[in-house]
Structure 1
Amino acid sequence: MKKQWYRTGVAVLGGTLLLGSLTACVPLVLGGGAVTTAMVATDRRTSGMIVEDERIEQKAAAKIREILPEGSRASVTSFNRTAMITGEVRTAAQKEALERAVASVENVRRVVNEVQVVPFVSSLSQRSKDAFITSKVKASFLDAKDLQANTIKVVTEQNVVYLMGIVTPRESKRAAEIARGVNGVSKVVRVFETISEDDLANYKAREEALEKQGTAAPAVQAAEPVVEITPVK
């Protein structure tokens, strides 16, 4: 899941004692049963990989808390050990520092840094709009009869929709088409790992078999994530 942190100065908080404090959404805890059996069954990652992605997000949270500057915010979403960073900071140096911090997390194999350098972070109303767009995109995926919605993670930042998952080329194109058709979306960024239709049938079973054997390399290698941008015309 996506986790988000803010570091806010006293001027924004009206002089309260929360100077330099961090707030974060409460993560879904796999051990607590928040992730259902149905969700695991439809996710193309193995249960072990789902747990690993959660650990990556938690470890990234700790590192980001140490360096996140005031007046900035950042989120990390991990899928199949690809960690995507989104958010807003004041300088390019701060953006690079976030990338180095996340890249240093154990078992992260790739970092996609989509943090924006801006003079001011987006408003609460914009973030609420982003959350609404995310919900609409997810609902649209569920309505689609030719797409497995639970295989795709959706993150929205400033009207830009980011998609992560293990998909076929057809699913990648279809997901982008659906997302770009949602009202309020300015563009769609795909951070997908692609796999052929033939390999898809046995992909998860092979991954689970290797996981039981303690083998790290996948039997069927999905293509490395490629960032593809689809503008909304």
Structure 2
Amino acid sequence: MIRRLLMLTIILYGVALVQACAPVILAGGATAAVAANDRRTVGAQLDDKSIEIKSRRTLNDDPKLGDDVHININSMNGSVLLTGEASTAELRDEVLEQIRSVDGIRRVVNEIRITEPTAFANRTRDSWITGNIKTKILATKDLVSGHIKVVTEDSVVYLLGVVDRKEADLATEAARSADGVERVVRLFEYVD
């Protein structure tokens, strides 16, 4: 009887452990699928994520910036796209100086506008536009969605990725056809 109870406890404990690991296993699988569809090496993907994290930390640690700036940081193969708003040119220049001090950055694309930071409603609309474009890209024949990164700031869409020219044209058309898009900026690296 005790032996059966012990065996049942061990089995139930094992099942519980496996169930707890399921989200981790699924997340790892999803991450691997995304990484596999990206033309960048895994090392380049990790470098880009590291650049984004270090850049965000650098800006967060600067007491001069505070609520007068709203900055988005996106890295692709060491090229950093900065979007958002700074209330003064001096604050924008401070952001640029801080970002340029981060190791691993090859190039900075400055798209920071001099104006008050956008409202939450604007950012929500931008998220909706980005999702809409990603859906269109996913549905586009001859276009691998993992090759394209979509960034939207105040209805301006930035397309990044390592693509061939046909993919760039298809992604651009998908972005231009989305509701609410004012302008599309191509920041691709071409493989052909």
In 2: Cα distance, 1:127 partner to 1:172 partner: 25
In 2: Cα distance, 1:33 partner to 1:89 partner: 37
- Report deviation, 1:35: 5.5
Q: What is the identity, as a one-letter code, of the residue corresponding to 2:127? A: A
Q: Are 1:158 and 2:154 counterparts? A: yes
- Which of 142, 145, 151 matches 1:146? 142
Structure 2, gaps ≥5 residues long: 1-26
- Which of 31, 34, 47 matches 2:42? 47
In 1: Cα distance, 2:43 partner to 2:30 partner: 13
- Which of 81, 92, 96 matches 1:95? 92
In 2: Cα distance, 1:35 partner to 1:89 partner: 35
- Report deviation, 1:69: 3.5
- Report deviation, 1:125: 0.9
Relative distance call for 1:117 and 1:158 in structure 2 (3 A) is same
Q: Are 1:110 and 2:107 counterparts? A: yes
Question: Residue 72 of structure 1 aligns with which residue?
Answer: 69
- Report deviation, 1:34: 8.0
Q: What is the identity, as a one-letter code, of the residue corresponding to 2:111? A: E
Structure 1, gaps ≥5 residues long: 1-31, 197-233
Relative distance call for 1:34 and 1:92 in structure 2 (3 A) is farther
Question: Residue 173 of structure 2 aligns with which residue?
Answer: 177
| SS at 1:70 equivalent | helix
- Report deviation, 1:104: 1.2
In 2: Cα distance, 1:50 partner to 1:106 partner: 15
| SS at 1:156 equivalent | strand
Relative distance call for 1:100 and 1:35 in structure 2 (3 A) is farther
Q: What is the identity, as a one-letter code, of the residue corresponding to 1:56? A: I
Identity of aligned residues (%): 38
Contact 2:70–2:117 under 8 Å retained in 1: yes
Q: Are 1:81 and 2:88 counterparts? A: no
Q: What is the identity, as a one-letter code, of the residue corresponding to 1:38? A: A
In 2: Cα distance, 1:192 partner to 1:173 partner: 11
- RMSD, aligned CA: 1.4
Greater shift after overlay, 91-100 or 37-46?
A: 91-100
Q: What is the identity, as a one-letter code, of the residue corresponding to 2:49? A: E
Q: What is the identity, as a one-letter code, of the residue corresponding to 1:43? A: D
In 1: Cα distance, 2:67 partner to 2:36 partner: 41
TM normalised by structure 2 equals 0.81
- Which of 58, 70, 75 matches 1:63? 58
Q: Are 1:127 and 2:142 counterparts? A: no
- Report deviation, 1:66: 2.6
In 1: Cα distance, 2:82 partner to 2:44 partner: 19
Question: Residue 182 of structure 2 aligns with which residue?
Answer: 186
Question: Residue 163 of structure 2 aligns with which residue?
Answer: 167
TM normalised by structure 1 equals 0.67
In 2: Cα distance, 1:33 partner to 1:60 partner: 25
Q: What is the identity, as a one-letter code, of the residue corresponding to 1:52? A: D
Task: Flag as ranges the 4+ runs of structure 1 deviating above 6 A.
Answer: none
Identify the structure with the greater helix proportion.
2
